[in-house]
Structures are given as C-alpha cells and as structure tokens.
Amino acid sequence: MATSKKTKSDAKHGSNGHRWRNGSAQTSKPVANSDLRSYSIPDYRLEHPDLTVRQAIEKGKDGAEHVRYEVEGNLNAPVPPIRDSKYLDKKQCIEIYRYMLLNRKMEIGLENLYKQGKVVGGVYFGLGQEACSCASAYALDKDDWFAPMIRNQGALLVRGFGASDMMMQYMAKADSPTKGRDGTSHFGDIEKRNMVSPISMLGDLIPVLSGVALGARLQGRNIAALTWIGDGGQSTGVTYEGINFAAVQNLGLVLFVESNLWAYSTPSEMQYRVKDLAERAIGYGIPGVIVDGTDACQVYDAARDAVERAHRGEGPTLIEAKMMRMKGHAIHDAAAYVPKPMFEFWKKRDPIARFENYLVKEKKWLTPKENAELISDVERVIEEEREIAVNFPMPTPESAEGGVFCEDGCHEIKPKYSIPKVKKGTGGFKQTEAAVHLK
Amino acid sequence: MQLTYLEAIRQGIWEEMDRDPTVFCLGEDIGIYGGAFKVTDGFIDRFGPERVIDTPIAESAIVGAAFGASLTGMRPVAEFQFMDFIGCAFNQISNMVAKTHYLWGAPAPLVLRGPSGGYVHGGPFHSQNPEMWFVHNPGLKVICPATPYDAKGLIKAAIRDNNPCIFFEHKYLYRRIKGEVPTEDYVVPIGKARLAREGRDLSIITYAAMVHTALEAAEILNKDGIDLDILDLRTVSPLDREAIAQTVKKTNKVIILHEHSRTGGLAGEIAAIINEEAFDDLDGPIVRIAGLDSAIPFSPPQEEHYLPQVSDVVREVRRLKAY
C-alpha cells in the first residue's frame, strides 16, 4: 500500500483526538457570572403536556388497600396542530403517512394472527409511535444505517422490508429472515438495507451503531447511523457508553430517545430524574432536541437535521420524542396499570389520525376519496403479505443446526464503501522494552 | 528471529495492519502510551490515530464499536487492558457478537485480545483466566497460545478469521519466554492442538502458561524414567477432539491441567470428550489439576497455593503412574 500524502479528505472525514472539547454544541451564551454556564435544548413541540404519574394508595371494593398509579395534570388540554415541516413536500408527507398506515395495519394483522394461534410467543406493538418510527427512518439516505428497537417495526417498512418478513418472523417460519432462529423485528441486512439486528437487551445497539459509523469513516464516508432507545432502555449503562463513544469520536450517531412514558409497567418518573431526557445530551456534549413524537413533520425535521449533521462529519445528535406507548408491553399485557385518563389524553394525539386530518382537511393534499383509496390499498397490501407469510412452512427440526460460524466461502468480507486509504509513518518495527503494568 | 511472546504478538498485529488496510486497533491507552503492556507501542506513529484509537474506559462501547465496524467490512482488533475487564462487556460479546452469524447471518470478523493469567501477583482483578465464560458461548473462537511462534501465528489467523475471536495473552509469558519466530508470513490454524512434548507414559492436556509448567515437570519426571506426552491445546474453543483422543489412546492415562477454577473448568469438558472418544483406552481415572474454587488471592504465598505449580504436576503424575 502506497503511503498517501495528507489530503483534504483526511480533514473532512475527521479523526480522533484532534478536536477541542466544545461542551454542548448548543451552548454558547456567556453569562455575567463566569462560574455559571447556560445550555439550551431546542423544543419543537407545539404543546408541553404537564402530566405526572405517581403511586397512590387506593381502597378496593373489598376495603383492602392497593397501590396504584394515578395521573395529575391538565388532561383536557387541546390537541396541538401538526407543525409544518421545514423540508417535506406534499408527496413525501403522503408517503410517510402511507408507511405509518402500513405500520399500524401490519400490527393489526399481527394481532389477528396471534388470536388465530399462528404467532409463536408474543406480539409487540408500536401503537401511538408510528410517526416516530416511520418519519425518522424516512430521513435516512440510502447508504445510511439503522437498527430498530422492538416498537420500530414501521422503520423496517420504510427501509424496504415487507410486512411478510415481520409476519414470518412472528410465526417462526422456515423462510423468515432469520429462518426461524429468532422472532419479531430481530433480524438484519448488512448487504442491501444496512440494518443491524436488534437484541432484546436494551442500549447495546448504541455503541454498535457508533461502530458502524466508525467503520464507514475509516472508509472515507461520513454516514448517519440511526437507532432508537426507550425512556426505560436509556437507564442502562451501555447507553451511556455508546453515546459517549460517539461523542468523543464525533461519529454520526442519530439517537432517538422515545419517551413513551411506560417501560413495561414502570412509569418514566421512576426511570430518571431530569425533566426531559434530551437534557442528557448536555452531559455528553452533543446537541439534544425535543420533538412531539406523534407529529411526523417534527420527527422528520429533527431526524433530517441530525442526518445532515452526521453527513457533514459533525457528530452525534440526541433527539427526544415525546409520546405514549398505547398498548401494553406485549400482547399479553393489558396495561391495566396505566391510569385510564392517560390513554384518553394520548388517544386524542394519535399520530395517524392527526396526520390524516392535516393532509386531508388542513392542507387538502389528499381528497377524502384519495385518502380512502390509499387506506384500502394499504389494507390490500397487508392482506397480500399476510397470505404470503401464512402459507410458508415451519422449519425442519434439523435446521436448528449449523451456521454458528462463518465458514470458508460463506461470506466474503470486504469494505462496504471503499478500501480505507491508509497513511503510514516512517517508523519501522522496533522491539519495545518499556516499563509495563505488571511484570 | 528470537522473539519474546509479547514481541511476537506485537509483530503479528503490526504485520496484519501493514498488509490489510481494514485492520485497525482500539482500546484503552493503546495510542501514544502504547498500551499497559506495550503491545501497541509505536503503532500510532506508524499507522496514525485513525487506526490506533484510544477509547474511553468503556468496555461495552469498545466491543460494540468493534462489532459495528466489523459489519461494514473492517477487521477491528480491540484490546482489553486486562482480560479481567472483559466481564464489563459480557452482554455485547455473548448476546450481540457471538449470536450474530447464527441468528441473522452477519459475519463479525473481530478480535478481542488482552493479557490474562496469574503468577504475577496481580490480585483478584488482574490475574484471572476468564476463557471459560466464552467457551460456553457458541459462536466465539477462544485462543490461548503458549509460545511466541504460536502467539504470532494465531493472532494473524484470528485477524484473518471471519468470526469473532477472543485472544488470551498470558501476561506471565509476555517477556519471560523467547522463541524462534520466522520472518516470513505464516499463520497457525485455529482449532488445532500441537504436541509440546512427545512421550509414551502419561498425557498432560493443557494450554498457555501451564504448558511450560508441564514441560518443567516433564524434565524432573524424565529422570525417574517417566515420559510425558504434553498436548498444548492452543485453541480452547473449538477444541481439537481428535488430538485429545489421540494422546489418550497413546498413553492411556491423562491429567488435565489449567489455571482457572476447577468447578465448571475446561478439564470437565475435556474429561467428557475423552469419555466419548476414548473411554475404553483409559487405564486410570482422569485427573484434574486446577486453580482453587475461589477468587485468585493477592499475597504471593496465597497465590502460589491457589495456582497449579510444577510440584503439583510431579506429585499427581507419580500418583497416577502408580495407579
């Protein structure tokens, strides 16, 4: 390999260890007292729900005391409008709307398959989170990467997977993307769609996506690497390690923190103490923003800004999207622990109903007839995909074997983008006799 | 060329980085400082800070980032300052990296390497041999070389392998042993054991620093006319079942020797393999010599008592020979 001279691209693609510590990129205003610092977290929402959940003792009909969650705050606040996107045009808005519909109808289809006894295990839903899953993935370019969490099944549809892929995964079919070896959205594709398979443990995708961005940068490309984490999942230590690594290395991680208020049965009040999780960005020295996770335009705009930042080599972004998980943790869980008024409050903020209203009534980008046609087309697609999926066979028992290792000829390992351009110093190999930690 | 065990590893990684632009290193203090044991000393000057990356003290991030980079076709070599700290990244290794090819068909060509092992009074958190945590994880290759030749040949093989490899470097051997290492390019195949000493009376199956303990014992026992066959496993996962069966068939008596704790240790697995492959060839019980079922204590007399010594091997060989 020839040694190359320092080129412009070296600077553009950045490297480690050469940046000044800059604190939060949102930081700036010096204040009169130099001991005080100020930070800001842009908040694109058009409303700021003030609901809080706490534990309270309630007397049952039998007179026995039970500990329950109760909610406080203005539960009758008016529903905010959709914020016009800085970037999306009519066609793109309709396309995102269609993905959100596909996402929801696919999950309704999965629920039906479950009720028919065709699903192995449970079903996980992203009800109420479709805007966050779909509009964020829509902001990626072709060469970017993503790794969905369990409620981001819509993101897979946006990136080109079929609903039948997910349905076969849930039914543990022989031709599912993992050939029956795992279920749900737990699969990936490093060839075409640049997706890393999630695992059930929370936060572990964050350093991995940082590493994907690192790998690309070593090949001369600044890419965006998108993943999501819940308000529960962000409590894990690896979340900190992963974001901090991306921050220090200035890698194009785009992290959506989905504040969906419930981590299984635990309310966000018992996960963290800060007011907004976006504030954590300050501690990492990276930009943090807040969006309404039920507003596809806000989600897209914030995601696109972060993706472009990543493409410019300016480093990671943390986006907090506020919304509520509108079903239980999985299909078995009726979410009886969630105070009913919370469901009612967030039901009025349904991402699809509001986007539909925006497109049909407010913008008039879809006539009611076109909208009805679009919905029935989505239903037809899902039905076709369902038909494909259910008709596949189950795997043979013996197919549990093999594939533990990548054997000869199984994969060719080659750089995804290009062969890294290496520069080499003049120093040759010299033996070292320096002092060491333990002798 | 005569090289120490450490220099052999260092040269192996250096040559791979020279040869293949997709190879890069990451880890704690590996850059300007050159690593706690100086395995990457001088690398940053030669290969630049882009390919020799000092990371935060965050083992899960190191493994996660290495894995992510490997998905883009890179071949990362991640250093653990001490292999004791690999536990901090256990979930990444066990649930993310090890399962990835079986579950969704993505190869993860990465190497996790670092110093392990006792006899240096490092105490309970700088002396462990945590290889068994990973032997029980299908999808990982676990490598524990004993000689400079094997250390260099196996680190190069691990870097070129398309699977995640965990490479345990015995820190007691780092600068204590020297050996002949060829100057031309070579690799040692992963998963193949070698005979460290040929003998006819009794087999010792072992690896890493314990190979040298067994060899010392063999010299003493040789004077008594006891001739040891010493099998150096080199790779502890996947195990070389054939070589294990062969030595047992030759000598009919076997001792398994390792540093880590006895219960749930590698000896149990090897005993089971012998049971499956060569039960009828046994002329005596399978004997285990291993560390105690406790943490590795710090104080030298205690550490010495915890770890297998040459005298333990000599005693057990004589006992088994007389059986």
The whole-number average pLDDT for the span B29-49 is: 96
Interface touch A178/B103, C-beta < 8 Å: yes
Chain A residues with CB-CB distance to B139 below 8 A:
404-405
Confirm whether B126 is a catalytic residue: yes
Residue A255 three-state SS:
strand
Per residue in A348-397, pLDDT (tens digit) is: 999 999 999 999 999 999 999 999 999 999 999 999 999 999 999 999 99
Best of B9, B72, B136 to disrupt the A interface (most A CBs within 10 Å) is B72
A201, with CB counted inside 10 A (0-12, 13-18, 19+), is: middle
CB A161 within 8 A of CB A169: no
How many other β-carbons are positioned within 10 Å of the β-carbon of residue A235? 17
Residues B12 and B185: their CA atoms lie apart, in Å, by 9
Chain A residue with CA closest to B107: the answer is A406
CATH class of A37-395: alpha beta
CB B237 within 8 A of CB B135: yes
What does the pLDDT read at residue A432? 74
Residue B257 confidence (pLDDT) above 60: yes
Interface touch A17/B54, C-beta < 8 Å: yes
Interface touch A188/B31, C-beta < 8 Å: no
User: Count of alpha carbons within 13 Å of A339, Cβ hemisphere only?
Assistant: 20
Contacts of A349 (CB under 8 A, 6+ apart): A79, A80, A294, A323
Residue A433 confidence (pLDDT) above 90: no
First-to-last CA distance in chain A?
37
How many other β-carbons are positioned within 10 Å of the β-carbon of residue A327? 21
What does the pLDDT read at residue A31? 52
Q: What angle do CA B305, B311, B315 make, to 5 degrees?
A: 115
Chain A residue with CA closest to B109: the answer is A413
Per residue in B75-96, pLDDT (tens digit) is: 999 999 999 999 999 999 999 9
* Spans of all domains in chain A: 37-395
Chain B residue with CA closest to A408: the answer is B162
Q: Which domains are seen in chain B, by residue range?
A: 2-180 (3.40.50.970), 194-321 (3.40.50.920)
> Which positions 168-227 of B are in contact with A (Cβ < 8 Å)?
171, 174-175
Q: Where are the beta strands (DSSP E) in A65-139?
A: 65-72
Residue A24 confidence (pLDDT) above 50: no
Beta bridge partners of A290: A43, A320
Among B48, B92, B101, beta carbon nearest to A405: B101
Chain Cα centroid distance, residue A206 = 10
CB A254 within 8 A of CB A40: no
Q: How many helices (H) and strands (E) does chain A have?
A: 12, 9
Chain B residue with CA closest to A439: the answer is B120
> Which positions 11-70 of B are in contact with A (Cβ < 8 Å)?
11, 14, 18, 21-22, 24, 31, 34, 36-38, 41-42, 45-51, 53-56, 58-70
> Which positions 65-124 of B are in contact with A (Cβ < 8 Å)?
65-76, 81, 91-92, 95-96, 99-107, 109, 120-122
Instruction: Say which of B126, B170, B212, B258 is annotated catalytic.
Output: B126
Among B31, B59, B74, beta carbon nearest to A218: B74
Residue A7 confidence (pLDDT) above 50: no
CA nearest to B251, candidates B200, B210, B185, B297: B200
> Which of the residue ranges A33-42, A269-278, B125-134 would you say has the lowest mean pLDDT?
A33-42
The whole-number average pLDDT for the span A399-421 is: 94
In this prediction the ipTM stands at: 0.96
Best of B45, B71, B178 to disrupt the A interface (most A CBs within 10 Å) is B71
